[in-house]
């Protein structure tokens, strides 16, 4: 959903990559704050989103290839999407104030 929102802002609203990623991260941060889950630094999340977008662009260029390498890259990309916004702090489960 995060990547879809980013693509909407970038492609449909014609925003720059940096601007679209900034707004996307701000929107995601609102949901995490409502759930009171500590989040990583927004800059790190923004870099992660932009890196994923660039990887998607490269896969999109080579989509006509049916090589095993291309298929492996596509399956790796799909698995990255499942873990796209694990943006909670690494110690979120050990932090007692969050669990209470």
Residue scoring higher pLDDT (84 or 39): 39
Q: Tell me which residue of 59, 48, 62 sits closest to 3, measured CA to CA.
A: 48
> Is the pLDDT reported for residue 99 higher than 70?
no
Domain ranges of the chain: 1-83
End-to-end CA distance of the chain: 29
pLDDT digits 0-9 by tens, 40-69: 888 988 998 999 999 999 999 988 888 888
pLDDT digits 0-9 by tens, 28-42: 889 888 988 888 888
């Amino acid at each position: 959903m995060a990547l879809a929102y980013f693509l909407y802002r970038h492609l449909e609203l014609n925003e720059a990559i940096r601007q679209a990623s900034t707004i996307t991260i701000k929107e995601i941060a609102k949901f995490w704050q409502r759930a009171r889950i500590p989040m990583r630094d927004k800059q790190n999340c923004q870099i992660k989103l932009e890196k994923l977008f660039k990887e998607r662009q490269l896969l999109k260029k080579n989509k006509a290839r049916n090589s095993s390498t291309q298929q492996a890259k596509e399956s790796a990309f799909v698995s990255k999407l499942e873990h796209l916004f694990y943006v909670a702090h690494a110690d979120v489960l050990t932090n007692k104030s969050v669990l209470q």
